[in-house]
Amino acid sequence: MSPFNLLFAQAQPDGAREIVDHLARTPLSKVVVGVCVLSVIRLIVQPYLLRTAKHRRSGSYGFVQFTNELLDSMIYAGVLVFMLIRPFGFQAFLIPTGSMWSQLHVNDFILANKLIYRYTDPQAGDVVVFHPPTTSALLKTDLGADGEMKFDFVKRCIGVPGDLIEMKKGVVYRNGKVIEEPYQAYSVCIDNPNHCQEYRKLSPDEVKHVTKPSFKLVNLYGKLLPLNYTEMDANDPSPRVGDYAETSQPYHVALPFRLPNPSDQKTAVSLPAERIPKGMYLMMGDNRNNSYDGRAWGLVSREQIVGRSEFVWWPWSHIQRTR
């Protein structure tokens, strides 16, 4: 497996986490079918309960009555949670990777506020759940039958429409001013690199030796390009790390934006930074050297944004607000 795939391979949930994640992602069509089936069963059971005289309500009657009440609860829960709260209010999401470490850990469950973005737009600094663009696909299997990504991403909104975002050797500038990023981290995986779940924060001395790329949006040959570059190359399929031996590349770039031609790389670096277009947003992970984000695959449209992460609700030991 390549370093690219080793770095961003998704951690696999198991046990109770897997069950909760499947429930949270159950398609609405299946919920509707389930509610209809349960309603039919309840309609079949109800006449028996109504016709049974009080002096004969023993034995199997108690079991049927319990079943009827259970069906009632499941129907109401299905309608309330899956047809009202989840589509329009709040939804649970599982964190599959460490791109937002150390605030969000692999296999944390967050609660996303979907209502907030119905009457306001995302703000810089928000931790956002969104449907990623197809340019982020690493494998063909990442895309569904409709050609869209099968899963959602969780990143931090770094730039909103009209912002001029640049990263200069790891330092992020918004409209010419350095932004404070207390959440930013540089880390190294300390467990299984195939499905990394635990990270160690690099010491200040270690961070000094990390090859930090620069970033900007440029208009190259009429196409808006997310450009990552160092003194050695730009959007190169295999970027060099310099003299310091690192375990990961200084940057990653999605296939549609790679520049294998050194001449194109030089031209792109010389171009001025472009502002984020109307209706588009730039997302980055807090775990800055272990995040596959907008620097690699570009911008996210307003229509792709699902909601704002409010807090971690599971595991109990990690309950916290996400800000």
Task: Read off the pLDDT of residues 103-151 as tens digits, 9 standing for 90 and up.
Answer: 999 989 999 999 999 999 999 999 999 999 999 999 889 998 889 998 8
Q: In Å, how far from its chain's centre is CA 315?
A: 18
6 pLDDT band, cuts 50/70/90, is very low
Helix orientation angle between 60-77 and 28-51, rounded to the nearest 10 degrees: 150
> Does residue 7 have a pLDDT over 50?
no
**Residue 285 contacts residue 156 (beta carbons within 8 Å):** yes
Minimum mean pLDDT among 2-6, 137-141, 192-196, 288-292: which range? 2-6
- Taking only the tens place, the pLDDT of each residue in 50-81 is 777 776 676 677 777 778 788 777 776 766 66
Mean pLDDT calculated for residue range 292-304: 97
CA-closest candidate to residue 131, choices 109, 113, 149, 115:
149
Residue 171: phi, psi to the nearest 5?
-95, 125
Q: How much is the pLDDT for 12? A: 41
Q: Highest mean pLDDT: which of 8-12, 134-138, 242-246? A: 134-138
DSSP state of 189: E
Residue 42: phi, psi to the nearest 5?
-65, -40
> Does residue 317 have a pLDDT over 90?
no
CA-closest candidate to residue 299, choices 320, 279, 269:
279
Tell me what the pLDDT averaged over the chain comes to.
85
> What does pTM read for this prediction?
0.80
**Residue 215 contacts residue 227 (beta carbons within 8 Å):** yes
Q: How much is the pLDDT for 304? A: 97
Mean pLDDT calculated for residue range 310-316: 90
As a whole number of angstroms, the distance between CA 320 and CA 297 comes to 29
Q: How much is the pLDDT for 24? A: 63
- Taking only the tens place, the pLDDT of each residue in 245-290 is 555 688 999 999 999 999 999 999 999 999 999 999 999 999 999 9
Q: Which amino acid is at 19?
A: I
Mean pLDDT calculated for residue range 18-24: 61
- Taking only the tens place, the pLDDT of each residue in 172-189 is 999 999 999 999 999 998
